[in-house]
Amino acid sequence: MTANRIKIAMLGFGNVGRAFARLLTEKQGEILDKFNVWVDVAAISTKSKGCLVNEDGINLSEALNDIEKFNHFDKKRKDYREMTSLEVAESVDYDILFELTPLQIFSGQPAIDHIKAAFKRKKHAVSANKGPLAWAYEELRDLANKNRVHFFYETTVMDGTPVFNLVDETLKFCKITEIKGILNSTTNFVLEEIAKGKAYDEVIKEGKKRGFVEEDPAMDIEGWDAAAKIAALLNVLMGANITPYDVDRKGIEDITFEQIKEAENRGNVIKLICYGGIENGKVIARVRPEEVSKSSLLASITGTTSIVSLTTDMMGTVSIVEHEPEIEQTAYGVFSDLIRVLGNM
C-alpha cells in the first residue's frame, strides 16, 4: 500500500527545532508503520539562519549539518530561499505548521499571525511558543474550530510533560477550579544558590555558564515567563481569557539571603509560585515568591524540575512533576503533538 505524505513547515530552527528534526528522522519508520504516513519537512524558516523550502522534502541531515558547521543554512543549496516566516506560513504547500519561533512575551507576535495564516488556509498548527496561548488563545481556538483544523501546544508550559493532553484525554468532563505550580526553573536555581550564600551576580553568571539562565535573565527573575505560563494554562483550562499583564506579578529580584534564612528558621523555603483560581466568579492569577513548608511537595521541587497541580471538581487534585528536563523532552512534546494530529486526521 502506497504511503500517504504529510508535509510540515517549521518556523524556527533553534535548539528545540533541531532536536525535533533529529527525533523525527529517528522515528520516521515507526510513524510509517503505525499511520502509513511519511512526514516530509517542506520548509524551515528562521530569522537569522536563513530559509529552506523544498516541497519534495528537505534533507534534514544536511540542514542540521549546515547549522552545526556554519550556524546558518548554506546559500548555495538549491532549496535556499529569501522568505520570511510569515511568507512561508502564507504560501508554502504544507499540511501542518510548527510554530517554534522565540517567545515575544509582551505581544505573542509574530507567532500569533503565523498560526492565523495557517488556519485561514485550513492547515493544522502545533505551537511550542506560549505567546499565542497567553495573548490570543480564544481567537486562535475559534479560528481553528471554524476551519476544522487541529491546534495543539503541549510544549508551551512544561516541555514534553502531558498537561493539556492529560486534561483532554483523561480528565474528561472534569472542571478545573484551581491551578498551582512552580513553572520557572531559572528562579528555582537562583533561589537555591542564594540560599547557599552566593551573591546574586555570581549566581546569574554561573547559571548562564551552565545553561540554566538566559543572556537577559530579567524575564525569568521578574516573573514574566511564569506569568505567561500561568496565563496560558488558565486560558486553555479555565477559559480565563487573560494576558500576562492581567497576572498579579512579583518576581524574586528583591529576595535576599537573610529572607531565605528567616524562612528556613520557620521550617520553610521560598519558591516562585504560580496560582490561578476563582474569586467572586472570576478567574484570577498571580505569580509571587511564597514561603512553603519544607514538608510540602512544592518544597521538594529543586533545580530545573517543575510541577503543576490541577484541582478538579471530580478528581480532586492531580499533580504532575517534570524531573530535570533536557532539550529531548521539549522536542518530544512537539513530536507528541505531531502524532496527535496524525491520529486525528
Quick: pLDDT tens for 234-248. Answer: 999 999 999 999 999
Look at 176-190, 201-215, 307-321 and tell me which has the smallest mean pLDDT: 201-215
Placement of cell 548554506 in the chain: 74
CA distances for 303 relative to 135, 183, 189, angstroms: 28, 11, 5
pLDDT at residue 216, as a whole number: 81
pLDDT at 215 over 90: no
- Is the confidence at residue 212, as pLDDT, over 80? no
Q: Where in the chain is the domain with CATH 3.40.50.720?
A: 4-160+327-344
Average pLDDT of the segment spanning 300-317: 94
User: Hey, how many other C-beta atoms are within 10 angstroms of the C-beta on 33?
Assistant: 9
The residues of the chain that CATH labels 3.30.360.10 are: 176-322
pLDDT tens digits for 8-46?
A: 999 999 999 999 999 999 999 999 999 999 999 999 999
Answer yes or no: is pLDDT of 341 > 90. yes
Mean pLDDT of the chain: 94
pTM of the model: 0.94
pLDDT of amino acid 221: 94
The per-residue pLDDT for 205 is: 86
| 88 within 8 A of 51, measured Cβ to Cβ | yes
Structure confidence by residue, pLDDT tens digits, 153-206: 999 999 889 999 999 999 999 999 999 999 998 899 899 999 999 988 888 888
Calculate the CA 77 to chain-centre distance. Answer: 31
Which of these is catalytic: 123, 130, 229, 271? 229
Q: Are 162 and 336 in contact (CB under 8 A)?
A: yes
Active site residue 69: no
Query: For the chain, what percent of residues have pLDDT higher than 90?
Result: 87
Averaged pLDDT for residues 111-119? 98
Mean pLDDT over residues 284-294, rounded?
A: 97
- Burial bucket for residue 23 (CB in 10 Å: 0-12, 13-18, 19+): middle
- In this prediction, residue 1 carries a pLDDT of 58
Q: What is the pLDDT of residue 127?
A: 97
pLDDT at 211 over 80: no
Please tell me the distance from the alpha carbon of residue 167 to that of residue 185, in angstroms, as a whole number: 23
Percentage of the chain modeled with pLDDT above 70:
99
Residue 30: the pLDDT is 95
pLDDT digits (tens, 9 = 90+) for 46-101: 999 999 999 899 999 999 999 999 999 999 999 999 999 999 999 999 999 999 99
Domain 176-322 is of which CATH architecture? 2-Layer Sandwich (3.30)
pLDDT number for residue 60: 95
| Angle at 231 (CA atoms; ends 327, 131), nearest 5 degrees | 55
Rounded CA gap, 298 and 4, in Å? 46
pLDDT band at 325 (very low <50, low <70, confident <90, very high): confident
CATH number assigned to the domain with residue range 4-160+327-344, chosen from the 4 options 1.10.268.10, 3.40.50.720, 3.65.10.10, 3.30.200.20: 3.40.50.720
